[in-house]
Amino acid sequence: MLPQMNFALILFLLLLVTFAAWVAERAVFRPRRQRAAATELTIFDRDAAPTLRAAGGEHAVDSERKALRERIERQPLWLEYTAGLFPVILLVFALRSFVAEPFRIPSESMLPTLVVGDLILVNKFSYGLRLPVVHTKILETGSPQRGDVMVFRYPADTSVDYVKRVIGLPGDMVSYEDKRLAINGVEVPTERIGEYEDRRRLSLAPQYLEKLGETSHRILTELDKPPFIQPMERFAHFDKCTYNGRGVVCAVPEGHYFVMGDNRENSLDSRFWGFVPERNIVGRAFFIWMNFSDFSRIGKIQ
């Protein structure tokens, strides 16, 4: 889970406010100040310039005219912090909406791939360009692939962002029984690669290498413990899933994806709450740009 305020909406509102101030500055306020400065300079040239020129020369007159113009044309503080910030906010808004968006990992559901405190970047154009705030896709650039680490808006509460790994694509049959994952009747290969040391909990967990398509990644799971997979509630396309004592089998509907956390025993994901609609996709997580507790974490996400 990636808790957040609706930062995109806040940023969009700031963009509108600063844009309005930027337009007003260029269309109304700056011309008004320039006219006021021209009037004051005319009065200065008529009344004060001759005396100042006689006392200090032409240089003194020029300096005083420059100072007078700057004082009258100076932008008020409220416009500096609105119209003046518009280009910066526009750049941030464009980058965050169409290029890359940062997120912070707050939970252990994606161990060992992502740990608590990882600051990640999410590619916003891998799965199509979308309008900010309304999330309408305007350009098709690609679609999620098995093994991708994807950020999406949680179907049950779209104000919350989740990060999970894409397991099933539209039309796939995904089986997770006896803690063995199979896609379209073919078991996903796994290989035991020792123990994972959880430094936060001071514990060890069995670690495996799993291969989904061309993607190999590590997962944590305890194969010797019985599965306990039960739906949290009835979700959209609930009839596409069958639950039993061994786990769950789901047929992924068109326009939807089946996702799971890499920390299989400690992740609430599609096994419990259903499918991710295509419209809920935020982007593909591709890079850890910082973890202030462990700088060695910086790098590409596998």
Q: What angle do CA 155, 158, 162 make, to 5 degrees?
A: 75
How far is Cα of residue 57 from the mean position of the Cα atoms in its chain? 61
Contact between 99 and 125 under an 8 Å Cβ cutoff? The reply is yes
Report, as residue numbers or ranges, the catalytic residues.
Answer: 109, 164
| Length of the chain (residues) | 302
Residue 25 is classified by DSSP as I
* Strand ranges, E, within 105-224: 119-123, 129-130, 137-139, 149-153, 161-168, 173-177, 180-183, 186-187, 190-198, 203-212, 215-220
SS3 44: helix
CA distance 142 to 88: 29
Instruction: Tell me the torsion sign for CA atoms 231, 234, 238, 244.
Output: positive
CA distances from 72 to 28, 33, 45, 53, 200 (A): 15, 6, 16, 22, 60
Q: What angle do CA 257, 99, 85 make, to 5 degrees?
A: 135
